[in-house]
Chains A and B, each alone.
Chain A
Amino acid sequence: MGGALDPRSAQGRAVINRFDPKRMALTLLPLAFLAVVVVAPLSRLLAEGWDHLSANILTDAYLRWRIVWSLIQAAVTCMLTLLLGLPLAWALARFDFAGRTLVLRLLMLPFVMPTLVAGLGVLAPAGPHGVLPINGQDTPWLLLYGNLFYNLPLVLRAGVDGFAAVPASRLAAARSLGATPWRAFWRVEWPAVRPWLASALCLVFLYCFSGFGLALLLGGQRYATVDVEIYSLVAYELNLGDAGALALAMMAITGAAALGYAWVEKRLAAPGRVEPIAPRRPATLAEWSWLAVALAMLIAFSGAPLLAVLGCALAAGPEAWAVLVEPDTLAALANSGRFSLIALALASVVGVAHALIASRSLWLRGAVFLPFVVSPVCVAFGLLLLYPSWTASLALLLSAYALFAYPFIAKAIAAALDALPASQPQAAQSLGATPWRAFWRVSWPWLLPAFRRGLAFAAATTVGEFAVTLFLSRPEWMTLTTLIYQRLGRPGAANLAEALVLSALLMLFALAAFVLIEWPTPLERARRALATRPPAATELPHA
């Protein structure tokens, strides 16, 4: 915050990029993009909803149930993730065990998994053709389980980070003042971790309430969410009025949740460089069982669906695998690749531009989060309403892809830019580099790892994108995700098997992105190791 408001740094930057048309273009590009692709369509949608706002939503029991159920499933998911997540996060933060680092890394895996993979991971074992003896179809449990797959790791990660931010000395002080471990947890650790969990829970609520893909696959007739209803009203009933009114109600609720998130996030203190509490081996049988149960839960909720996709795909047999070489599949793969590349190129340009201007003001920085908190279904619907003559244009679809991909790039680069000492580009300039050369030779190599990570996230999002694709895609633009969805819509076990094989392919792609994100290069590893070690440890005998 100091960096953004400190007049000195603002002055320093002003000299480096003096006022010129290029700088204006840099500011206008991301803002214009957001205005055209999010703000204008959502405003149009609000107007549409306002025009058709009637007592219909409140009196129609069917529509009312959609909204109420969306709220219920989001709230229940929040409660479940908190109840499960807190003890799990404590176990992961405080207990040391073989493979702990790997488990903490794997927590990121669900974030890059496309909705379709997760949905199939739940359907395959517990759906109508499932291998398990239970059939969860037309019950709320499938959707709640799918929600937990995504959101339990989110809460867990926030909790582990929060527990890691508690300084060892603070806990030691509490203990030496007479607190039992249990009292120390309630009076020292819990207050410290609370804001972290609150921020994660806001996101969980937001994602679940405006959830589309999972609810479409797993909700069935009765347990689908508002977004699914909006989609069916638009796509199958052409009832734009009711859809607009629903979208208005939905945006009011998500808007409130997003504001809550921003408020909590602002209060969240940046983690200082504290000496964290070192995790220790579990000492008693109770502690070992606690850890074992925690890991088992994690596998049951966030590992099982992925294993199910892989297992079912492998068991599907050669005739299902033949789908990989069908012309349809090859065309879809080519489209997926082509669309993703173009969308990523656009997302990179907008993302880098937005990151470079993000340090200028808090609201420019906050604007990066806009695409994260808006519902993809609402955006797609708004785009359809606002630009009816463009509905057959690929540009609209690709812009929407880029919209949901670029915040990952912008966020990663903005964070790396904050960490870049001002003296680095200045040193380059004092050694004779022009501002552009200084950026190219010094700042960009510094930002590159962040760009790579952001790009991997963006790629995973784009390839797995589902909601916008259903709205804006045309039959000839078949991508991997729409192909899978089409197979699911056809009856018979053979089609399910083919969908599973295709999902496994999608999963492999997400895995590749995950490896790119989580495994740093040797240079980064060395730099990180240096950052976490006191300088004396690197002092060599020769001086």
Chain B
Amino acid sequence: MLELIDICKRFGQRCVAERLSLTVAAGETLALLGPSGCGKSTLLKIIAGLEQPDAGRVRFAGTDITAAAPEAREFALMFQDFALFPHLDVSGNVGFGLVERRVKRAEVRERVEAALAQVGLAGYGARRVFTLSGGEQQRVALARALVTRPRLMLLDEPFSSLDTNLRQSLQQVFRRLLTDAGIPAILVTHDRAEAFALADRVALLRDGRIVQQAAPAELLAHPADAWVARFVGFDNVLGSALVPEQAFCFGDAQPLRRIEALENLAAGIRLTVAFDEGPLTLTLSPREAAGLGEGLRVGGKVRVGIDPARMIPLPA
């Protein structure tokens, strides 16, 4: 559906896209995951037409849209700060794009009300946007984007200004609404949990290049290199392989090793243990922890080893 072909973009010395190519299929949600400043927001603006690439092409549904004006693309962009218009009430905000599309007033009203009901804000039409809570503002922004039936949805860190509980419940609403509408979407985020929770496919961006793109499970099973492995959440990266939780084995046959750090969590105990290769981190379930008894303290010893067969090799 959407194709980026050899996109290049630099700002002075800083390169935010270096011959970058990417595709998004119909109905698919793709997450662009990368550290801050890696150029993912700029890429989103290039797709939206708010920035021009230095080189390369943007195609949608077979048509070259590289030079098309942002308003002609019929994409919807959702901003990190929601960018609600403070001088318009909730209805005015949600109906903004419909007015630009010359939709009749009665129909605008109808569609706005339907969109508000869809995001659970029925009856909020006359409210001023700055009287809304963060979560409500976010849902108004979502309704405003969805009501125009965009051909592609672009989401720029849409959950980063919300607290954790709200974020999780709204992510579910998002996932459901996007799937129901069948709209392809690109989500920009630096939060791997958010990317894995929402996207069908994750593209990892680093210094203007895509390092790897794959479905979340695939990405976790076969990270392309050490950087990717660390970025998606693996703590124990050795030179040529990583040590996942399932590679640690316990029992009397294992050598005694020193515990260097210990952290109590709801899910168990997180240990940093001195291995011959260096310190590695592992999480013990409460059950396992109970079995280990007295040795569980900083400076104590624990019998633990690594099963090489369960290590994940990294491509050279």
Please, which residues of chain A bring their CB within 8 A of the CB of B148?
Answer: 431-432
Contacts of A424 in B (CB 8 A): 83, 85
Q: Given A424-B83, A445-B87, A523-B87, does the pair A430, B75 have CB atoms closer than 8 Å?
A: yes
Is B87 within 8 A of A530, CB to CB? Answer: no
Residue of B nearest to A431 (CB): B97
A428-460 contact mask (Cβ, 8 Å, vs B): 1 or 0: 111111110110011001100000000000000
Knowing A540-B132, A540-B133 touch, does A434 contact B69 (C-beta < 8 A)?
yes
Task: Compute how far the CA of A11 lies from the CA of B39 in the bound complex, rounded to whole angstroms.
Answer: 14
Chain B residues, CB < 8 A from A16: 50
Chain B hits for A421, CB < 8 A:
81, 83
Cα(A539)–Cα(B163), bound, Å: 12
CA–CA, A437 and B69, complex, Å: 13
Residue numbers in B under 8 Å from A426 (CB-CB): 45, 48, 50, 70, 77, 79, 83
A427 touches B132 (CB 8 A): no
Is B191 in the interface zone, CB < 8 Å from A? no
Contact (A538, B50) CB under 8 Å given A424-B85, A429-B70? no
Residues of B within 8 Å of A7, CB to CB, are 11-12
Tell me whether A527 is interfacial, beta carbon within 8 Å: yes
Contact B135 A543 (CB under 8 A): yes
Tell me if A15 counts as interface (CB < 8 A to partner B): yes
Q: Give the docked Cα–Cα distance between A8 and B148 (Å).
A: 29
B128 on interface, CB distance cutoff 8 Å: yes
Complex CA distance for A346 and B89, rounded to whole angstroms: 33
- In the bound assembly, the distance between CA atoms of A438 and B77 in angstroms comes to 15
Known interface pairs A421-B81, A543-B166; A527-B70 also in contact (CB < 8 Å) = no
Known: A523-B87, A527-B86. A543 touches B76 (CB 8 A): no
Q: How many residues of A contact B (CB 8 A)?
A: 35
The reply to whether the CB of B51 lies closer than 8 angstroms to some CB of chain A is yes
Query: Quick check: is B100 within 8 A (CB to CB) of the other chain?
Result: yes
Q: How far is the CB of A337 from chain B (nearest CB, A)?
A: 31
Residues in B whose Cβ lies below 8 Å from that of A15: 49-52
Known: A437-B100, A527-B86. A11 touches B71 (CB 8 A): no
Cβ contact within 8 Å between A430 and B87: no
Q: With A15-B51, A526-B128 known to touch, is A433 a contact of B100 (CB < 8 Å)?
A: yes
Instruction: Name the one of B11, B74, B83, B128 contacting A432, with C-beta atoms under 8 angstroms.
Output: B74
Bound-state CA distance A540–B131 (Å) is 8
Whether a CB of chain A sits under 8 angstroms from the CB of B27 is: no
- The answer to whether B133 and A12 touch across the interface, beta carbons within 8 angstroms, is no
The closest CB in chain A to the CB of B141 belongs to: A427
Name the B residues within 8 Å of A429 (CB-CB): 49-50, 69-71
Known: A433-B71, A446-B86. A423 touches B130 (CB 8 A): no
Q: A446-B86, A526-B130, A530-B130 are contacts. A11–B136 as well, Cβ < 8 Å?
A: no
The verdict on B144 contacting chain A, using a C-beta distance below 8 Å, is: yes
Query: With A11-B11, A428-B96 known to touch, is A539 a contact of B87 (CB < 8 Å)?
Result: no
Does A535 interact with chain B (Cβ within 8 Å)?
yes
Report yes or no: B96 in contact with A431, Cβ–Cβ below 8 A.
yes
In the complex, what residues of A have CB within 8 A of residue B101's CB? 432
CB-nearest residue of chain B relative to A527?
A: B86
C-alpha gap A437/B131 in the complex (Å): 26
Assess whether B182 is interfacial by the CB under 8 Å rule: no
Known: A431-B100, A432-B97, A540-B133. A442 touches B85 (CB 8 A): yes
Nearest CB on A from B284, distance (A): 36
Look across to chain A and name the residue whose beta carbon is closest to the beta carbon of B41. Answer: A8
User: Known contacts A15-B51, A424-B83, A526-B128: does B77 contact A430 (CB below 8 Å)?
Assistant: yes
For B136, list chain A residues within 8 Å (CB). Answer: 540, 542-543
Main secondary structure of the interface of A (DSSP, over half): helix
Find chain A residues with CB under 8 A from B74 CB. Answer: 432
Given contacts A527-B130, A539-B134, contact A12 B85 (CB under 8 A): no
B77 / chain A contacts, CB cutoff of 8 Å: 426-427, 430
A537 to chain B, nearest CB (A): 10
CA distance A246 to B42 in the complex (A): 57
Q: Please give me the residue from chain B that is nearest to A541 by CB atom.
A: B133
Q: How far is the CA of A421 from the CA of B84 in the complex (A)?
A: 10
Residues of A within 8 A of B81 (CB): 421, 423
Question: Which of A421, A446, A543 counts the most chain B CB atoms within 10 A?
Answer: A543
Residue of B whose beta carbon sits closest to that of A18: B52
Residues of A within 8 A of B83 (CB): 421, 423-424, 426-427
The closest CB in chain A to the CB of B16 belongs to: A8
Q: Which of B32-86 touch A at CB < 8 Å?
A: 42, 45, 48-52, 69-71, 73-77, 79-81, 83, 85-86
Which chain B residues lie closer than 8 Å to A12 at the CB level? 45, 50-51
Q: Which residues of B contact A438 (CB under 8 A)?
A: 71
| CA–CA, A527 and B87, complex, Å | 9
Q: What residues on A are CB-neighbors of B73 within 8 Å? A: 430
Q: How far is the CA of A249 from the CA of B10 in the complex (A)?
A: 51
Which residues from chain B contact A428 at a C-beta distance below 8 Å? 85, 96, 100
Chain B residues within 8 Å of A540, by CB: 131-133, 136
Smallest beta-carbon distance B8→chain A, Å? 14
Rounded to whole angstroms, the CA-CA distance of A434 and B49 in the bound complex is 12
Q: Are the C-beta atoms of B48 and A8 separated by less than 8 Å?
A: no
Question: Which chain A residues border B145 with CB–CB below 8 Å?
Answer: 431
Residues of B within 8 A of A8 (CB): 11, 42
On whether A430 and B50 interact (CB within 8 A), knowing A423-B81, A423-B83, A445-B87, the answer reads yes
Residues of A within 8 A of B96 (CB): 428, 431, 433, 441
Q: A15-B49, A423-B81 are in contact. List 19 more A-B contacts (CB 8 A).
A: A12-B50, A15-B50, A16-B50, A421-B83, A426-B79, A430-B48, A430-B154, A431-B97, A432-B71, A432-B100, A441-B96, A446-B86, A523-B128, A538-B132, A538-B133, A539-B133, A540-B133, A540-B136, A543-B133
28 A–B pairs (Cβ distance < 8 Å), ordered by A: A12-B50, A15-B50, A423-B80, A424-B85, A426-B79, A427-B85, A429-B49, A429-B69, A429-B70, A430-B50, A430-B70, A430-B76, A431-B76, A431-B97, A432-B71, A433-B96, A434-B69, A434-B71, A437-B100, A445-B85, A446-B86, A446-B87, A523-B86, A527-B130, A538-B130, A538-B131, A540-B132, A543-B133
Q: Which 9 A-B pairs have the closest CB atoms?
A: A431-B97, A423-B83, A430-B77, A427-B83, A432-B100, A445-B87, A429-B70, A423-B79, A539-B133
Please give the residue numbers on chain A whose beta carbons come within 8 Å of chain B beta carbons, in ascending order: 7-8, 11-12, 15-16, 421, 423-424, 426-435, 437-438, 441-442, 445-446, 523, 526-527, 530, 535, 538-540, 542-543
